[in-house]
A and B are shown apart, each in its own frame.
Chain A
Amino acid sequence: MTLQGGSLAIGTPAPLCLRFRSAPLEIRGALERVADWLRAQRPESPPARDLELVLAELLNNISDHSYEGTPGPIRLLLSRRGDWVHCSIEDEGKPLEAKFLPTKCSAVPLPDRDRLPERGYGWVMVRKLARDFDFERCEGRNRLGFRVLLSFPETEAKTGG
């Protein structure tokens, strides 16, 4: 039996499951693994790196607010379904309050240059690049689910990149 040319062999990359701690350099290492996984989705013309950006914001948020800067365990699961990547992030830190979840946010006001805010942009980007957020607190864990569209260069060109 051969799978060569079969739809299961091509176009259904294995899910990615990573366990790491919420220290900045470990988060960076995990994001580099995600970058490799993204490139493997279509090596000859890889998708945009929206997913890395969304994950960076959410993982930094867990580091800051769930673990409050003291590194703790994180489990990240990514699986591709068609043009979407379904994501799940679990941590064992403090229950994440609603204000630290990306479900609600407003645009950051942009006044003149000398009064530009230095924070608040992360949620703006997450809300634009990810959808279908689903949060639960269960058995001492936070679990955040969402999905991100795999945006390939040809669709990026259409939507203005």
Chain B
Amino acid sequence: MQIDASPFEEGIVLTVRESRIDAACALQFKDRFRDLAADGAGKVILDLAMVDFLDSSGLGAVIASMKSLGPDRSLELAALTPLVRKVFRLTHLDTVMTIHPDAASAVSGADAAP
């Protein structure tokens, strides 16, 4: 599971360099996320631009990763591809998570997302 980390002023951007987060790699995702995010502070922006498939196992891994940050740090999502966006919409998770059009606007806070 390749995820790249790049810090910015208010936290860290994690860019997933895989096309799928599914049952075959959900555990690896959680482990890698924890390794990269555990020691930092501030918000975590998860850039999913390269992920074109996410099943409920992958979704569970994203939620578990968000909860692993603890109450003082937030996880925000960026650059959802069409199927991934649909997964968040069908489950209504798009109503409880912050979703940005792309990583750049997530970092700059330039978009309308709260």
Contact = CB atoms under 8 A, between A and B. Distances in A.
Given A116-B63, A119-B56, A121-B56, A108 B91 contact: yes
Interface stretch (A1-9, A47-55, A131-139, A140-148): A47-55
A63 B26 CA distance: 15
Contact of A56 (B23, B85, B93, B96): B23
B87 interface: yes
A95 interface: no
B24 A121 contact: no
A161 B82 contact: yes
A48 B89 CA distance: 14
Interface residues of A, number: 32
A116 B64 CA distance: 9
Contacts of A107: 92
A108 B60 CA distance: 12
A116 B56 contact: no
Given A48-B83, A49-B53, A121-B59, 6 more contacts: A24-B23, A27-B23, A28-B24, A49-B83, A121-B60, A125-B87
A-B pairs, 9 with minimum CB distance = A122-B56, A24-B24, A118-B60, A56-B55, A121-B56, A121-B91, A60-B23, A49-B83, A125-B90
Interface of B: 20, 22-24, 53, 55-57, 59-60, 63-64, 66-67, 71, 82-83, 85-87, 89-93, 95-97
Interface of A: 24-25, 27-28, 31, 48-50, 52-53, 56-57, 60, 63, 107-108, 110, 112-114, 116-122, 124-125, 128-129, 161
